[in-house]
Amino acid sequence: MPKTKEIISILSKFTPCDVSDALVKYGSTNGGYLPNLVLRSKVASGVSSVVGPAYTVLYAPKSDPRPAVKQSYIDEIPEDSVLVIGLPLSCQKPNAPYVTVNNALYGGLMSTRAQYRGSNGSVVLGRIRDLDEHIELGHPVWSYGVGSTAPGPVVKVVGINVPLEVRVGDDESEIIGINPGDFIVGDKNGIVKLEVGDESKLEQILEYIPKRVDADTKVSEDIKKGKGASESQKLWRGKI
C-alpha cells in the first residue's frame, strides 16, 4: 500500500472527475462527489488537483450543549492535509445556501496560517470571507458561499479530527461521511472524497485511474477521427 505522500503524488496528476469514474467503477453511485462547493482561489500550477488527507473541524451553534474546543485547530493543522470545516446536519439545507449559518466559518488569516504549516488546501462546507487574501496567497479554498462576518458571535468549534456528515440531496438519507484521513481531491470541478478504510479497494482505485484516463484519451482521439463515441468507449474501456 503506498504511503500518504505517494498517494498525494499519484492523485495530484488526475482530476476529481477521474477519481469519481474510478469510484463509480467500484460501486459508488455518486463518485464521492461533495456537491455545491466552488473553488474561490486557484490551484497551483503544475498539478491537476489539490490532494491531501482530511483534517476535519466541526463547528456548532453556540447553543449546542457540547463544550467549545480549547485548542486552536489552525495551529495544529498537519502538513500536506486538506482542512475540511463542517457543521452539524441540523445546520444543513438541501438547497442554496446549503447551511443556516450566514457567518463565515473561515477567513484570510486562517489560510495564511494553514499555508505556513504546509496544508494543501481548505474545504469549507459553509461560507468564507476575505476572498482577496486567499487569492493573493494562492491557497486553494472551496466553499458554498461567501460572507463578511467572523464565526465567533454564532458558532464554536466542538470537534477537531472528528467524523463529519454532509447532506448531499433532498432526501434526508442522502449523506456523505468524511472521516479524518480520507483523501480529498479538488479542482475547479469541485471536491471528491476517497475513503481510506479499505486498503485493498483503495489500491484497486489507484491502479484503475490511470488506465481509465488512458482509455478515455484513446476514445477522444477516435472521436476526433470521426468514429462513434459509443463504439470507441466500448472498445477501449472494455480493455481495462
Domain ranges of the chain: 4-197, 198-240
Please tell me the predicted confidence (pLDDT) of residue 107.
99
If you search the block for the grid coordinates 461560507, which residue do you land on? 127
Please tell me the predicted confidence (pLDDT) of residue 48.
86
User: Is 130 known to sit in a ligand binding site?
Assistant: yes
Summarize pLDDT for 172-231 with one digit per residue, the tens: 889 999 999 999 999 999 999 999 988 899 999 999 999 999 999 999 999 999 999 999
Residues of the chain under the 50 pLDDT cut: none
Residues pairing with 83 in the sheet: 55, 122
Please tell me the predicted confidence (pLDDT) of residue 5.
96
* Angstrom distances, CA of residue 160 to CA of 83, 93, 139, 193: 10, 23, 21, 18
Question: Helices 199-224 and 16-25, interaxial angle, to 10°?
Answer: 110
d(CA 94, CA 116): 35
For domain 4-197, the CATH class is alpha beta
User: Is 109 known to sit in a ligand binding site?
Assistant: yes
User: Is 129 known to sit in a ligand binding site?
Assistant: yes
Tell me how long the chain is. 240
Grid cell for residue 158? 466542538
User: Is 34 known to sit in a ligand binding site?
Assistant: no
User: Is 118 known to sit in a ligand binding site?
Assistant: no
